[in-house]
Amino acid sequence: MKAPAAQQRLLLDLAELDADIAKAQHARKNLPEDAELAELATALEAARDDVARSRVAVDDLQAVYDKIDAELTGMTEHAARDQAAIDAGTVGHKALTELQHELDHLIRRRDDLEAEMLELMEQQEATGTEADRAEAALLVLTEKELDLVAQRDSSAAAAEQKVADITDRRGSLAATIDGPLVAIYDGLRGRGQVGAGLVQARRCGACRMELDPRTLSRIAAADEDEVLRCEECGAIMVRTNHSGLPGQGRPRE
């Protein structure tokens, strides 16, 4: 196959744009914000667990408080009835003794419950403070997540626009190159291979294989418009004045 040397050299520009597209696509798939969001998700999960545990602790203490409070209320009412009966003086000596004994017991139990309730209230205060701290920490992380999502979306849009811009430039350049030549190049890329590479320093620019003297001589002797393919990788080997081929720089006979 033959194609003007200038057309072949345009393949190097095309390959450079394809490399830029690949880099831009990689950057789009590996945004730093995505990595930060992944780390933040772990911190958010831990923060939510902290909030859930603290709320359970608060609820448990409140349940104990309500139970003690109900018992204390009932006991206070019972003691008040006993005291009223004693003050009324309408009961016999034996009943009075039993009422007094019961009242003394109720008063002692009431004092114990009040002390227990004070201790419980201190625990509630500490637990409530911890719950507030956990919820505040979760709020900070949630706001950070919202900010990161906004930054990620902005970065993603910029990366996608960059891919689109380079792709447009690539399409415009490809349109200026001979169709059959582009078809070979694109066919190689479609198979996951490098489409074209510069012959330089005795190597194929696509696969970096060192070319033996016989191959170098064959390349140097070929017409400028001859489309040469690498025997190793199949890529189009593009020649320029900087390829360092045998006899390069001297006029052909």
DSSP 18: H
- Radius of gyration over every alpha carbon of the chain, rounded to an integer in angstroms: 43
d(C-alpha 40, C-alpha 94), whole Å:
73
Q: What are the contacts of 102-108 at 24+ separation with CB within 8 A?
A: 103/79, 106/75, 106/78, 106/79, 106/82, 107/79
d(C-alpha 200, C-alpha 216), whole Å:
10
pLDDT number for residue 251: 38
DSSP 192: T
DSSP 222: S
Is-above-0.85 flag for pTM?
A: no
pLDDT number for residue 247: 62
Q: Vertex 8, ends 4 and 10: CA angle to 5°?
A: 120
pLDDT number for residue 102: 87
DSSP H helices, 175-224, are: 179-190, 213-221
pLDDT number for residue 248: 58
Q: Cβ distance 198 to 17 under 8 Å?
A: no
DSSP 203: B
Provide the β-strand partners of residue 198. 238
Q: What is the pLDDT along the chain (253 residues), one digit of tens a residue?
A: 899 999 999 999 999 999 999 999 999 999 999 999 999 999 999 999 999 999 999 999 999 999 999 999 888 888 888 888 888 877 777 888 888 888 888 888 888 899 999 999 999 999 999 999 999 999 999 999 999 999 999 999 999 999 999 999 999 999 999 999 999 999 999 999 999 999 988 899 999 999 888 888 889 899 999 999 999 899 999 998 777 777 654 433 3
Q: Show the tokens assigned to 188.
A: 């190689």
